[in-house]
Amino acid sequence: MRSLLKSAGLAGATLLASCASTSWVSTWKAPDAQSLRGEGKVVTVVMTQNEAMRRSAEDSLAQEITKMGAKAGAIPAYSLIDNEPTQDEAQAKAALEKAGVGVIVVMRPTAVSQEISSTPTASATYWHGGYYGYGWGAAYGPAMDIHTDTIVHIQTMVYSMKQNKLVWSGQSKTTNPSNLDSLVKEIIYAVADEMKKGGLI
């Protein structure tokens, strides 16, 4: 991950400026975490029970990390671990070590919710001036703009095989993602930006 952010700074800034829908609910960094530069390949893990979605998301995540400049490259976990997802930690660790993996990036969807908001298209605080009749005529009608937003909450975790620990974690929320690829892309650039600030990459 030596040059993971050489191009991400500009690309990520452009991406987030255009979408501007991902924000951090919370972030955490291990107090004694060391830089991840030169620790080897990056493996991407997406924890979801939907097999097709998991593979697609792991592919997208690996592609974006590679584009960002990961020196040793990034690979999806499903290509390394048989019958993934597996709860056998020893089996997974052995497969990752054999492949020369040094950093694990995990994304885990935690919740999907909807928020409904409404905005009056006209308002008044008085009875006179013709509002009385208008108010009755427009009640519960097109004068009220109702909007529904879909909010996706995702926990992202970054592990170091060499340091044998979780070095960074963040809980994000993304409003109205257009598709899976754009969601993964927006989050990983936001993650990279936070990790760069923390001196991890």
Please give the Cα distance from 46 to 192 (Å, whole number). Answer: 17
pTM of this structure: 0.76
Per-residue pLDDT of 50-109, as tens digits, reads 889 999 999 999 999 998 888 788 999 999 886 665 567 788 888 889 999 999 999 999
State the distance between the two ends of the chain, measured CA to CA, in whole angstroms.
7
Whether the CB-CB separation of 27 and 156 falls below 8 Å is answered with no
pLDDT band at 138 (very low <50, low <70, confident <90, very high): low
Nearest-5° Cα angle at 8, 42 to 160? 25
* Domains of the chain and CATH, by start: 8-114+153-197 (3.40.50)
